[in-house]
Amino acid sequence: MPTVETIYYSTMESPIGKLLVAASELGLRYVYFDKISQLPQRKGEVWIKSPEKVRAYEDQLRAYFRGELREFTCKLDLVGTQFQKDCWNALLRIPYGATCSYGDIAREIGRPQAFRAVGMANHDNPIPIIVPCHRVLGANGTLTGYGGGLPTKEKLLRLEGASFQLKPRSEKHAGNEAGVDTPSAQARFEY
């Protein structure tokens, strides 16, 4: 008989939009941006709405957005291939306010030529923000793809006071006279 796993979920408002937060009995399993139209239930999972079961995870996210939390301490239940887990664990070692490149992650996990595969693992990261794929930049220090969109990635990096560059004006609508934005003051989110 197949095993059915219970996933508890709730939604929360945040300065970057609504987030769906979901956890198993083992820890946080998913954080999804508001772009989903239905529950991302996988085979063998049953989802139950339970704000009480995910409150501790939401509390840590809220503290992060207020600038009060720099390191998440919640338990994680990462589900993926071993390569993905290696990448996600490397992301967890990027300090608050720091950034690195996809190549840096590839080298850290002992697969120096796998920077594109690292990018795909980041794309498939089921727990963005907490597993901080937003801290990974292109090799030239510019913002690159992010599941929550580049404006969200920019907001998260500004919140942390991280250094990065925005793409030249021809690739981005807003910019300064030189065509490149540099980060301004650290972001502050208030609810």
What's the distance, CA 108 to chain centroid?
19
Q: Catalytic amino acids?
A: 133
107 membership: H or E segment, kind and range: helix 102-108
Instruction: Report d(CA 104, CA 102) in Å as an integer.
Output: 5
Specify the DSSP class assigned to residue 112.
T
Task: Give phi and psi for 64, each to the nearest 5.
Answer: -60, -50
How many residues in total does the chain contain? 191
Contact by Cβ (8 Å): 142, 167: yes
